[in-house]
Amino acid sequence: MSAPDDAAPEVEVPTGRRHRLVWVTVAVALVIIAIDQVTKALAVAYLKPRILSGEGPIDILGPVLKLTYTENTGAAFGMGTGFTWIFAIIATVVAIVILRTATKIGSVAWAIALGGLLGGAVGNLIDRLTRPPGIGQGFVVDFLELPNWPVFNVADMSIVGSAILMVILTIRGVELSGARRASGAR
């Protein structure tokens, strides 16, 4: 039986290419995790004492971008404070799902998107697992401040950027396999 005319045919991704794309996913994640953890360590070392002493945030681009220091025990926009352990579990599940999904991709763009999502999730998970008050209950270090927006970090930027890339890929009809959906296909 053949596929309908408006559906993309199944694409068999060669094993070697699939393995390379898994490594692209992992490499992107590791780069994000490294940048995230280094910038958080710098925020703790330099911004936390500044904020605690009352000096206030550092203006980078006037009122548009500031460096500050906050300890986020919740999720985005400060929601879920007190449920840190749930976010740790969710991040762990997300990481496992991404790693399993990465073995099925055939697109560099999807590998980058999944790697960014994985890196962001693991970057914040590391905070939740290693910072006070204890394993699975730790706060996430946030230090980038925009006007009228919650303070965030590199992991958060990576998660949002990856989500935007995934939406673009989906709108453009690029499937995980790398195949393009025919126009009008659902």
Alpha-helical (H) ranges within 103-171 are 108-130, 154-171
Which residue type is seen at 85? Answer: W
Cα–Cα dist 181/110, whole Å = 15
Contact 123, 109 (CB under 8 A): no
Q: Tell me whether residue 36 is one of the annotated catalytic residues.
A: no
The count of other CB atoms within 10 Å of the CB of residue 29 is 25
CA distance 10 to 70: 47
The residue with tokens 């070392």 is 45
Q: Is 59 a catalytic residue?
A: no
CA distance 118 to 65: 26
CA distance readout (Å), 12 to 134, 174, 186: 45, 15, 20
Q: Determine which one of 5, 6, 59, 142 is catalytic.
A: 142
Q: Give the catalytic positions in this structure.
A: 142, 156
